[in-house]
Amino acid sequence: MSKLAVVAFGGNALLRSGQKGTYKEQIENVENTCQSLCALLQRGYNVVIGHGNGPQVGNVMLQHEAGKQAGVQAMPMDFCVAETQGSIAYMIEMGLRNVMTRKGICRDVVTLVTQVSVSADDPMFQNPTKPVGPYYTKEQAESFAAETGAKYKEDPKGNGWRKVVASPKPLRINNVDIVKQLAAAGHIVVTVGGGGIPVVEENGSVRGVEAVIDKDLASALCAVEIGADEFYILTDVPKVYINFRKENEQALDTITVAQAKQYLEEGQFAEGSMAPKVRAAIMFVEHGGKECIITEAGQLDNPSCGTRIVK
């Protein structure tokens, strides 16, 4: 039986610091990441891919905002997530197919535009904190808030005001059984893009909601639900560190869930950076996963790469 791995592509798999986010830049970045991913395929793994969409969904919102000036109706957050799921997955499929062809790997790649169920009663809806989209002046933010009912908060770094939405806990990956079947058959599956399209199920119907689901947590939930052996979170550093960027900085090789929780309590991992990744790793291992590996994509050719979180 082949091992099954879920791999969560980090933001730098698509867009690097200092880049403008052009189509050419993103295609090149994706292909480089897919080049590294082939190390798992060559070791016989079945692979499911999750990915982020932060910069891309922000660009889509900018495009919608510009379109309003021409009378084109702007679309809600769930629609924007669906839009970027498709466009990013298209780039991943193309990049992976090109790399596999050069390496003589014969696998099919399939994308599922994926809804992820959340609770309408999730407390995050009462206190939205996840910034999305472009920056505005205070006057613009107040005007948009009055017009749409959306909430805006000032950026702590003084860049302006941004729309904020809830980041609720993912409860269920819709169509996850299909993901599992396709992966077991040896197909590479791209799913839960951007954390999944956030939906609420009520009275037998489904509706999208203004929210952003953490992509690492959604990928971890997917890994649990399909029974993955390993969960890889790709980021821009080769390992997780404590005392990061200090004189006593220390790279972590293998740590237990208990140790990871202790480091979180000590504030060793920054929110909005490494802390959500470590929480996703803990969630995977506590719910039956063997180990989670947090590393940089270029390290995947080393079977002992990264920081490993184990039970």
Cβ-based neighbours of 70, under 8 Å, separated by 6 or more: none
The answer on pLDDT for 249 being more than 90 is yes
Q: Are 208 and 198 in contact (CB under 8 A)?
A: yes
Here the contacts of 90-94 (C-beta below 8 Å, separation 24 or greater) are 91/14, 91/26, 91/27, 91/30, 92/9, 92/30, 92/34, 92/49, 92/51, 92/190, 93/190, 94/27, 94/30
User: Which tens digit of pLDDT belongs to each residue from 10-61?
Assistant: 877 788 878 888 899 999 999 999 999 999 999 999 999 999 988 888 888 8
- Is the four-CA dihedral 45, 86, 181, 120 of positive or negative sign? positive
Exactly one of 50, 180, 277, 306 is catalytic; name it: 277
pLDDT of residue 300: 92
Annotation marks residue 153 as catalytic = no
Average pLDDT of the segment spanning 245-264: 95
Residue 47, phi then psi, degrees to nearest 5: -130, 135
Q: Are 33 and 175 in contact (CB under 8 A)?
A: no
Cβ-based neighbours of 289, under 8 Å, separated by 6 or more: 220, 223, 224, 228, 229, 230, 231
Among residues 216, 218, 205, 227, which one has the least CA distance to residue 272? 216
Among residues 177, 169, 188, 49, which one has the least CA distance to residue 117? 169
Exactly one of 12, 46, 53, 174 is catalytic; name it: 12
Annotation marks residue 215 as catalytic = yes
Exactly one of 11, 95, 196, 289 is catalytic; name it: 11
Which domains are present in the chain? 4-119+170-310 (3.40.1160.10), 128-165 (no CATH)
Annotation marks residue 311 as catalytic = no
Exactly one of 130, 163, 180, 239 is catalytic; name it: 130
Annotation marks residue 159 as catalytic = no
The answer on pLDDT for 69 being more than 90 is no
pLDDT of residue 307: 97
pLDDT of residue 1: 66
Among residues 203, 186, 262, which one has the least CA distance to residue 2? 186
Annotation marks residue 11 as catalytic = yes
Exactly one of 50, 215, 239, 306 is catalytic; name it: 215
Instruction: Report d(CA 218, CA 25) in Å as an integer.
Output: 26
pTM: 0.93
Among residues 114, 113, 112, 108, which one has the least CA distance to residue 188? 108
